[in-house]
Chains A and B, each alone.
Chain A
Amino acid sequence: MTTQQSGSRLASVRSGVQRFGGFLSSMVMPNIGAFIAWGLITALFIPDGWWPNEYLAELVGPMITYLLPLLIAYTGGTLVHGQRGGVVGAAATMGVIVSADMPMFLGAMLMGPLSAYLMKHFDRVVQPRIKTGFEMLVNNFSAGILAALLAVLGAYVVGPLVGAIARALGTAVQFLIDMSLLPVVSVLVEPAKVLFLNNAINHGVFTPLGTARAVTEGSAIEFLIETNPGPGLGILLACMLFGSKVSRATAPGAIVIHFFGGIHEIYFPYILAQPKLILAAIGGGMSGVATFMLLDAGLISAASPGSIIALMAVTPPGGHVQVLAGVAAATIVSFVIASLLLGFGRSERRAEREEKTQQEAAEKQENNR
């Protein structure tokens, strides 16, 4: 196999993984507003919140158990088969929701699009054959019957299955925490982010896992792994001081957009241009996760976008110093590694000097003529 062939195969695998991940995150991301509403209500009104209020705290349970999974299921269904798919997906997802004693995000991400997919195929076969005048009757009852059947199936089969998978994943994360191995996750997460899998990882994996933990423990470290703006900030700072001429000029603006605006994509090109910088992102990510783990830091709900402002807004009372410490550790480590890798700008300065002397020499020649 030639390198070109393997290169194009790699590219197609990459875009396939991106597309699948993009589908997962596109079920979650349009609903982040509801996640934030839930996170704010939780942070404010639960017994250890800023402003405890027993009556308003009653919002917390139903929102996380019903509202958020149903929104995900509806969005996932809509992506597959329009509003009709969304309705069937949401109704069918009620089955997995009542079957489990945890928020059924994974179940919703499965049942929503799957139910819509079945509806779509049913419609494709049946709709052309409906007698004139019976369209509404058939359409309403086919959607209703399918949704009811899938809800029952979800309650008895899919729910327990997905529940077991979700528990196993949660146990795996807990195992990594207990063994102090969680920082190793950064070795996968940071390179995957730069390949534009950042939303897929955060909203496809960490948001469902973290929400399950946040419900039982009040906060979750899972929300901090991908959203920590520290590694990117360290790299951008290093590029601002020691990078090429173009990097030095654009990095300050990128820092504001990245760190405060939370759009991490803005630092990916700096790594793609100089792939060795990925080591700085990994090192920074690992130090950040290690610090979060040691200090027992966590967030109440998903922080999106990964801006320092969003992180602070969903940090539980009394947890801000720990979160900031992890962000700072990631920034410092990533900055130091990136600066070393950039040779503190030595090679850039040399290149610029050479360019200048060449220019001067050219000018001199011009003058001599």
Chain B
Amino acid sequence: MSSIEGSAIKKVVVACDAGMGSSVLLTSQLSKSLSPHGVAVEHAPVDRIPEGADVVLCHTGLVDRARKRAPDTVVIAFQMFMGDPAFARLEQAVRDGSTLAE
């Protein structure tokens, strides 16, 4: 179980299979709430998650591939594309600098 301090989160990568569909949708949603806190949100294919990501978000169905690709990064899995508690957890950690654990 890896974790990260909310204040250390500078770059969040949302990953999906192609990095073109659902991840883009979530990126535009999340950057609205996270960019005021100086956090960059990007999207990527799950097999090509870029270096330097502090947190990776992806669906539970893809989480094995994300962990393999970015073993040292905190990977947060979500179930629903809308209103999943994982997004609220991330937003809260960024807002008050609390610890975010997988």
Q: Name A's B-contacting residues (CB within 8 A).
A: 11-12, 14-15, 18-19, 22-23, 25-26, 29-30, 195-196, 198-200, 246, 249-250, 253-254, 257, 261-263, 265-266, 268-269, 272-273, 305
Contact = CB atoms under 8 A, between A and B. Distances in A.
A23 B69 CA distance: 14
Contact of A18 (B65, B80, B81, B82): B65
A25 B18 contact: yes
B61 interface: yes
Contacts of B59: 196, 265, 268-269
B21 A263 contact: yes
B22 A265 contact: yes
Nearest to A21: B17
Nearest to B63: A15
Interface residues of B, number: 22
A246 B83 contact: yes
Given A18-B62, A266-B81, A268-B61, 19 more contacts: A11-B64, A15-B65, A22-B65, A198-B17, A199-B18, A199-B21, A249-B83, A250-B83, A254-B82, A257-B25, A262-B21, A265-B16, A265-B21, A265-B59, A265-B81, A268-B59, A269-B59, A272-B61, A272-B79
B62 A23 contact: no
Contacts of A18: 17, 62, 65
A196 B62 contact: yes
B15 to A, nearest CB: 11
Contacts of A261: 25
17 contacts: A15-B65, A18-B65, A22-B65, A23-B47, A25-B18, A26-B18, A29-B18, A250-B82, A261-B25, A262-B21, A263-B22, A265-B21, A265-B22, A268-B59, A269-B59, A269-B80, A272-B79
Contacts of B79: 269, 272-273
Interface in B70-93: 79-83
A269 B22 CA distance: 12
B22 to A, nearest CB: 4
Interface of B: 16-18, 20-22, 25, 45-47, 59-62, 64-65, 68, 79-83
Contacts of B83: 246, 249-250
Nearest to A254: B82
B68 A305 contact: no
Contacts, number: 73
Given A254-B82, A265-B59, A22 B22 contact: no
A30 B65 CA distance: 20
B62 to A, nearest CB: 6
**Which residue, A29, A30, A265, A266, has most C-beta atoms of chain B within 10 A?**
A265
A60 B65 CA distance: 39
Nearest to B60: A272
Contact of B47 (A14, A22, A246, A254): A22
Contacts of B82: 250, 253-254, 266
Contacts of B81: 254, 257, 265-266, 269
Contact of B22 (A25, A30, A249, A266): A266
Given A196-B17, A266-B82, A305-B21, A22 B61 contact: no
Contacts of B25: 257, 261, 263, 266
B84 to A, nearest CB: 8
A29 B47 contact: no
B61 A199 contact: no
B14 to A, nearest CB: 12
Given A15-B65, A15-B68, A22 B80 contact: no
A228 B68 CA distance: 32
A199 B22 contact: no
A267 to B, nearest CB: 9
A248 to B, nearest CB: 12
Contacts of B65: 15, 18-19, 22
A207 to B, nearest CB: 13
B44 to A, nearest CB: 11
Contacts of A199: 17-18, 21
